[in-house]
Amino acid sequence: MNRRAFLTGLGTAAAGAWAARAAETPPGNQGKRRNVVLYVGDDWGMNDAGCYGNKAVKTPGVDALAGDGVRFTQAYCTTPSCSPSRSVILTGCYNHANGQYGLAHSYHHFVSLDGVKSLPVMMAEGGYRTICAGKFHVEPEPRYHFGKYLPGGAPVKMAEAAREHIAAESPDPFFLYFCPTEPHRPFVRGGSDPVDPARVEVPTYLPDIPECRQELADYYGSIQRCDSGLVRLMEILKATGHWDDTLVIFVSDNGIPFPGAKTNLYDPGCNLPCVVRNPLLERQGTVNRAMITWADLTPTILDFAGLKPEGAAFHGRSFLPVLAQENPEGWDEVCLSHTFHEVTMYYPMRAVRTRRHKLIWNIAYGLEYPFASDLWESETWQACLKSGMKTYGRREVENYLHRPAFELYDLEKDPDEINNLAGDPAHKELLAELTNRVKAFQERTKDPWAIKWRHE
């Protein structure tokens, strides 16, 4: 069964089937604690770790986790913005359905809807001690309540602050949600090994100019600082005897904090690192090419915990049963959704991505594409403005700012998503097929923006 077929049947029957599987104790784990650590980097891009092929940045933590776990290559946040993405991570439902349409803090003030039930609440009801370390950034707090909150700061210090909760002699297992603010802007370098801008390999969606190289070097330094917390956390798990009874998941909330990635449904904004270590797997250090999304994280964690929340229904599904497989069947399509970042950044988009193709529906295509304030102020973008550059990476600046209603890409031939095939008569049937998939996705997930099709 592929993801589209699975989601089409999601409802009482599917939720019941999932709950029945989730209620089973994972093999080899009878009578043992089943702890969970969910480590979320802030604006950490897909290829920005050694285990993902980056030779300029040093990430011993993520690399070690990948060496003793499973590294996903086709993992996607469903929405490339902080609060909305984190709401999906913590509910298993798309943000257009849970109500966290944009950022939670300050005057943006987006909040999740009444009736939304989150992962920490369900884990607590299942007997878990729940701890949130660092960035929270969803609202309202009671809907996402944790039993204990630990302050942010240097990731290593955050890990040390979590030690007493990990080491506590308690009959109740723990769920630790660990969220540094790195590598979000402003970049904070880590360690005594700064990255040389000359060693940076500028990705094709960014301009290879001195300002961009320097910002990427600073960004890599901030990644190294974030990674240091993961290194320490793994040391603590091992020292306290919990390395072999703890599920560890590392992800990022959205793509790199540069124009062209974060807040975009292009792959640099959504295709992200995901490394998972299930201590019950016999085979570690593997690669998994399943197409998963952050809507799958809550069902996966509940599945590992053996919990069966009453009335639980999610837009995602547990990938635990296929974690050890390299190319599992039925995981070959994802759907993406973005509406706001800041409250002034209304630009709703919906997309479907298969192994080969992607269709983006720019619902408000008549508007100029909006910038997050920190991305607009970046030295890279400002240098482009001052120089009058017509291209940004491989994309025309005009095409970045003013987008058509539909963008259709052949990702095998055009991985940079530049050649829009939506108006090509040779791809008329493909456009119709993927358009219907987007519509069906919106119907399944009760997307309020589905009404906009009446105006197309």
All residues at 6 or more sequence positions from 282 whose CB lies less than 8 Å from its CB, including other chains: none
Spatial distance between the Cα atoms of 75 and 288, rounded to a whole number of angstroms: 9
Q: Which of 299, 334, 333 is nearest to 319 (CA)?
A: 299
What does the chain come to in residues?
456
* Half-sphere exposure (Cβ direction) of 139: Cα atoms closer than 13 Å: 11
253: left (phi over 0), alpha (psi -120 to 50) or beta: alpha
Q: 51, 82, 179, 335: which one is catalytic?
A: 82
Say if residues 183 and 257 touch (Cβ distance below 8 Å): yes
333-338 β-sheet, strand order: 333-338, 349-354, 357-362, 406-410
Place of tokens 């998503």: 417
Cis peptide before 180 (omega within 30 of 0): no
All residues at 6 or more sequence positions from 141 whose CB lies less than 8 Å from its CB, including other chains: none
Place of tokens 């192994």: 355
82 noted as active-site residue: yes
Dump the DSSP string for 189-234. Answer: --SS-PPPGGG----TTS--SHHHHHHHHHHHHHHHHHHHHHHHHH
> Residue 313: how many CB atoms within 10 A of its CB?
17
Say if residues 36 and 120 touch (Cβ distance below 8 Å): no
* Half-sphere exposure (Cβ direction) of 163: Cα atoms closer than 13 Å: 14
Q: Which helix (H) or strand (E) holds 277?
A: strand 271-277
What amino acid occupies position 64?
A: A
Spatial distance between the Cα atoms of 6 and 1, rounded to a whole number of angstroms: 6
Rg (CA), the chain: 21
Place of tokens 């007997």: 127
> Residue 192: how many CB atoms within 10 A of its CB?
5
With H, G, I as helix, E, B as strand and everything else as coil, classify residue 366: coil
Kindly state the DSSP code that residue 437 receives in the 8-state scheme: H
Catalytic residues: 82
